[in-house]
Amino acid sequence: MKQKSLIRELFSVILWTFVIVLILINFVGSFSYTDSASMGGTVDPGDFVWVNKLAYGPRFMNYFRLPGYSHIKRNDVVVFNYPLEFDLPVNKKRNYMKRCIGLPGDTVKIFDRDVFIGKKALEDYPDFHYSYTIKATTDTLEKYVNRAMHITETEVGTSTKEYIFMLSKAEADSVRKIPGVTSVNPSITIDSPTNMFPTGSNYRWNDDNYGPIVVPKKGTTVHLSTDSLSIYDKIIKFYEHHKLETKHDSIFIDGTYTTHYTFKMDYYFMMGDNRDNSIDSRRWGFVPEDHIIGKASFVFCSVAPLPREKSFFQRWNGKRFFKSIQ
Average pLDDT over residues 208-236: 96
Query: How far is 217 from 63, CA to CA, in rounded Å?
Result: 20
- Closest by CA to 240, choosing from 291, 293, 292, is 291
pLDDT band with cut points at 50, 70 and 90 for residue 48: very high
Domain limits, the chain: 9-107+271-324, 130-186, 221-262
Average pLDDT over residues 182-186: 94
C-beta of residue 73 within 8 angstroms of C-beta of residue 100: yes
What pLDDT does residue 119 have?
93
What pLDDT does residue 244 have?
96
Average pLDDT over residues 107-113: 95
CATH topology of domain 130-186: Alpha-Beta Plaits (3.30.70)
Query: How far is 240 from 222, CA to CA, in rounded Å?
Result: 15
Question: pLDDT per residue over 61-74, tens digit each?
Answer: 666 788 999 999 99
Average pLDDT over residues 102-115: 96
pTM of the model: 0.89
Average pLDDT over residues 257-273: 97
Does the pLDDT at position 1 exceed 60? no
CATH topology of domain 9-107+271-324: Umud Fragment, subunit A (2.10.109)
